Structure 1
Amino acid sequence: MCGTSDLDGPATPPAGAVVVQPEQDLLDVTNAAPAGTTFWLAPGVHSLSSGQYANVRPKDDMVFIGGPGAIIDGGHKAQYAFVGDGKNVTISFLTIRNFGWPGSTGQEGVVNHDAAQGWNMHHLTVSDNSGAGVFLGNDNVIADSCIASNGQYGISAYRVDGVRNVKVLRNEITDNNTDDWETRIPGCGCSGGAKFWEVENAEIVGNNVHRNKGAGLWADTNNTGFTFENNHFAANDDEAIFYEISYNAAIRNNTFVRNGITKGRSTDGFPTPAIYLSESGGDTRAPGPHRGVIDITGNVFEDNWGGIVAWENPDRFAGSPANSSTGYSTLVNDDVTLSHCSEESLMATTDYSDDCRWKTQNVHVHDNTFKFNPEAVGDGCANNELCGINGLFSNWGSYPSWSPWKGDVVNDAITFNQNNRWENNTYSGPWRFMIHQLGDEVTWSQWRSAPYNQDANSTLN
């Protein structure tokens, strides 16, 4: 996708389009036109480098089409390319580059900065920008585009009131987080190929997600109804898919190759998988598709640092000081508010305590192919006891003092009581298996036998 002729726009303007030459001021031309205008940007560099707020502000239903080689360049002087709340805007066949200030612009979006509704963005090259290349709002599509070498994320979806109905289709998402935000702000959770926050109903289909510094795709906090299908994930530094305190997803027919190696070789005490489920599971009360299940099926894993890890931190729940998603409660019970979950006397009741948790439950891992050659993975994998792990586990609950989940409560729940199942999978290579508690490695035979009973009808060669 990146650098191919597929991204070249029409050589002549569509009928009725306003032609914009590179020497014209795109802001002035846009501001002077009524809603619904179509613009054809002639080949060449259209500069928006006159200042920080030299940003295009589309009106409703405007269309921006680039001719072959049409570029919008911010010169690292303008912070954003397209801003505002105009609805149903279309942007296509443009290269959008050099917006924001390297190393200092974070949590900002260059295209659709305000996450406006109904934007259709396709056949774009969004590269070498600071912050996120593209922001997604309600009913947005980003398709058939090259999203490359942006400073923080390639794509980000966030609004204060949440985001609904997004499609990320057939894009190449590569080499993002060039500013290495996790080094600048350790533990920020703010980098990678794409980041989704409080998104309902996302279709992520047919993308090539590779070489991102951080996770490939990261859905963090109260996402629900995600479909990850027919994507190719390769050589992302961290996990290919990180699904965190979220609900209801299908992860099917994807390919995972050499993901997590950079993080895995430098991380002690916790395995780095290709797919990481952290306090995420199926619940019929959460909205969107795939209600009641996280279904992981039909995928091929080859020489990643690890396979699939399903994990639940006993100390992380709504109202807990250990919950890094400060200010959020779960999606499954409107009566369970953050203040209720923080109140010790209410936490002693079953209803409140149960629904204050994001649970790793109803995870179904089946009909996948796992290939693992430690020598091919390299980077010390063969001598690292945390390389090549598939796992289902928690750890010893200890915090806060009033938590009802101390000790082995969550270890037992995730292992025996929350309907998490591996079955009908095909493994080749010296895979390791971790279950019940972090660090408890078991043999293939033990993993499959009582009391765990995982991977019925699966094979290991």
Structure 2
Amino acid sequence: MTRPRSVAAAALLALALLVVAACSSAPTAVPDQGGTVATSASALPSGIPAAVCGRTEPGPAGAPPGAVVIDPAVPGDLVAKTDASPPGTTFWLAAGVHTLGTHEYDQVAPKTGDVFTGAPGAIVDGKGLNNYAFVETAENVTISHLTIRGFNPPQDQGVVNHDSGNGWTIVANTIEDNQGAGLMAGARQQVRGNCLRNNGQYGLNAYQPGNGITGMVVEGNEITGNNTQDWEHKVPGCGCSGGMKFWSVNGADVRGNWIHDNRGPGIWADTNNNDFLIEGNLVENNDSEALFYETSYNLVLRDNLIRRNAMVAGKEKADQQDSFPIGAVYLSESGGEPRIPARTDKIDIYGNRFEDNWSGITAWENSDRFCNSPANTSTGVCTLLVPDVEKCVQPGIATPPLYGDCRWKTQNVDVHDNTFVADTAVIGCAPGYASRMAVLANYGTYPDWSPYHGEVIQTAISTTQNVGWRSNTYQGSWTFVVAAVDKTESVTQWQGGPDPRDQGSTFTPDTAAGC
């Protein structure tokens, strides 16, 4: 039986969370009775919502009552005292540089309910020798007011909460200059008021083996400069870079963060994520997409300021004369699905300001990517509607319900009441490549037993899967890609024709000379 946290530890945690909450203007969202997301005062961020790097909230200057004091002058003191203490202990790290030992597996293994907090100037440094800082699967651990740096986890692994323990609270830390991911995640994890910067792969990698993560909150953090090792060029096609990566997370609130200048996407939700609320963030200057939502379900993206994203990736494609539309938001085989419980049954994108990104929103579906297809890069994983991969074979896959349920569909997407600004003075002139919206698929060819050959998915995504735009405001010269990458439409064609889009929207063209 574990003992409860001490009163001092609980008070310390409550104070830290109050400080972080006071710094964030984003509201807390709750489901209304109809199952959609309701809020009382959501709005675009004014200014920078979470500029915490370099000024994270300092921890207690003296040891809290009953805390175990960790001495930086004693190498390995943190490891030894953690091992020797009972569950629910509060550890106070005095100012200075704390080291864990000289072996790659010298690391801290918290027990359930442990609290680790630092005095101003407390640093945990791996010195380039240790792989991990905090490991194992104890629950309800708190890490606060520490600088954690210099660790060397392998690819796709992380420094803090390496083994994805549940219920961890990570608040007011600076986690920087590590390899791999600065932070891993478990169910019910709270990540608030941290600086996650200049890590080799990700700032945050939210993955847990088994059933996946539920009930996660990422709020009021600055996430910047991550993927310093430039993994997508180091291992082409790895899908392993950016500010934050989520895999099979069911229920996440990402709000009030400043996500900027990461190499790769700012936010990447990859494979069977569901029920995401992304609101009130400033997402800017990331090399690739602000948001890459891939083979996932049911999302509300609202009241975010999204600017100058995907400029590096877009220009790289344009230089290669690759006309695939690189958007600030990339919906890849992702859509609303009412059969999967969530706070919404669609992908609802509204109230955002998209400013001077390479392009706008790309709604894409790969005709060859489905459960059990060799083209599915999420190897061995099936949709949430058909968990058994082996069911998605001929002849069953050729008829309902498997015909529809073996695919991750880009469907039930509602893009409305957003502002899209494209200033050629910022983006430059890239005719046919920049300033585009897109709803498209490829011509199905692979594998030979696929029931989705030809234009089947191109027609479905552009006509029958309920992917629509309405009541938006456009500034600048926009073009639109429909059904296939080589089919471009003007504003008049986009709004007219047999499948009219953007009804109720307004367009103010760019009059800049030379474009």
Could you state the TM-score of these two structures normalised by the residue count of structure 2? 0.86
CA contact under 8 A between 2:482 and 2:489: conserved in structure 1?
yes
State the AA in 2 paired with 1:97.
R
Q: What does residue 108 of structure 1 align with?
A: 157
Q: What does residue 391 of structure 1 align with?
A: 438
Structure 2 counterpart SS, 1:264: helix
Counterpart CA distance in 2 for 1:26 and 1:288 is 41
- Structure 2 counterparts to residues 6-85 of structure 1, below 5 A: 6-24=56-74, 25-85=77-137
Q: What does residue 193 of structure 1 align with?
A: 243
Q: What does residue 352 of structure 1 align with?
A: 402
Counterpart CA distance in 1 for 2:376 and 2:451 is 15
State the AA in 2 paired with 1:155.
L
- Structure 2 counterparts to residues 294-373 of structure 1, below 5 A: 294-334=347-387, 337-341=388-392, 343-373=393-423
Structure 2 counterpart SS, 1:347: helix
Counterpart CA distance in 1 for 2:80 and 2:101 is 14
- Structure 2 counterparts to residues 194-209 of structure 1, below 5 A: 194-209=244-259
Q: What does residue 495 of structure 2 align with?
A: 448
Structure 2 counterpart SS, 1:350: coil
Counterpart CA distance in 2 for 1:432 and 1:48 is 56
CA contact under 8 A between 2:367 and 2:441: conserved in structure 1?
yes
CA contact under 8 A between 2:159 and 2:183: conserved in structure 1?
yes
State the AA in 2 paired with 1:329.
C
Give the superposition deviation at 1:452: 2.0
Give the superposition deviation at 1:58: 0.3
Give the superposition deviation at 1:40: 0.9
Counterpart CA distance in 2 for 1:434 and 1:452 is 13
Q: What does residue 202 of structure 2 align with?
A: 153
Counterpart CA distance in 2 for 1:49 and 1:415 is 58
State the AA in 2 paired with 1:117.
N
Are residues 357 and 70 of structure 1, via their aligned partners in 2, closer, same or farther at CA, if it must alter by over 3 Å? same
User: Which one of 213, 232, 235 corresponds to residue 163 of structure 1?
Assistant: 213
CA contact under 8 A between 1:49 and 1:73: conserved in structure 2?
no
Q: What does residue 260 of structure 1 align with?
A: 310
Structure 2 counterpart SS, 1:295: strand
Give the superposition deviation at 1:20: 1.2
User: Which one of 120, 130, 148 corresponds to residue 96 of structure 1?
Assistant: 148
- Structure 2 counterparts to residues 375-414 of structure 1, below 5 A: 375-378=425-428, 382-414=429-461
Counterpart CA distance in 1 for 2:505 and 2:176 is 43
Aligned residues: 451
What 5-or-longer segments of structure 1 have no aligned partner? none
Give the superposition deviation at 1:333: 4.0
CA contact under 8 A between 1:283 and 1:332: conserved in structure 2?
no
CA contact under 8 A between 1:49 and 1:76: conserved in structure 2?
no
Give the superposition deviation at 1:446: 0.7
Are residues 181 and 5 of structure 1, via their aligned partners in 2, closer, same or farther at CA, if it must alter by over 3 Å? closer
Structure 2 counterpart SS, 1:375: helix
- Structure 2 counterparts to residues 266-277 of structure 1, below 5 A: 266-267=316-317, 268-277=322-331
- Structure 2 counterparts to residues 105-144 of structure 1, below 5 A: 105-144=154-193
Q: What does residue 477 of structure 2 align with?
A: 430
Counterpart CA distance in 1 for 2:430 and 2:275 is 38
Counterpart CA distance in 2 for 1:349 and 1:278 is 24
Structure ranking higher on relative contact order (CA contacts 8 Å, 6+ apart):
2
Counterpart CA distance in 1 for 2:225 and 2:264 is 10
What 5-or-longer segments of structure 2 have no aligned partner? 1-50, 509-515
Are residues 285 and 333 of structure 1, via their aligned partners in 2, closer, same or farther at CA, if it must alter by over 3 Å? farther
CA contact under 8 A between 1:49 and 1:75: conserved in structure 2?
no
Counterpart CA distance in 2 for 1:15 and 1:215 is 43
1:372-430 Cα distance to aligned partner (Å, 9 max, x none): 0123123xxx1341111111111211111121111111111111111111001000000
Counterpart CA distance in 1 for 2:140 and 2:500 is 51
1:264-291 Cα distance to aligned partner (Å, 9 max, x none): 001113111100000000001123332x
- Name the % identity: 48
Which stretches of structure 1, 4 residues or longer, exceed 4 Å deviation after superposition?
none
| 1:281 correspondence with 2:332 | no
User: Which one of 255, 262, 271 corresponds to residue 221 of structure 1?
Assistant: 271
Judge which range, 199-208 or 348-357, deviates more. 348-357
1:308-332 Cα distance to aligned partner (Å, 9 max, x none): 0101111111011111111011112
Counterpart CA distance in 2 for 1:452 and 1:438 is 17
Counterpart CA distance in 1 for 2:481 and 2:355 is 19
State the AA in 2 paired with 1:353.
Y
CA contact under 8 A between 1:97 and 1:126: conserved in structure 2?
yes
Counterpart CA distance in 2 for 1:50 and 1:287 is 48
State the AA in 2 paired with 1:87.
E
Give the superposition deviation at 1:52: 0.5
| 1:421 correspondence with 2:421 | no
CA contact under 8 A between 1:300 and 1:370: conserved in structure 2?
yes
Are residues 349 and 5 of structure 1, via their aligned partners in 2, closer, same or farther at CA, if it must alter by over 3 Å? closer
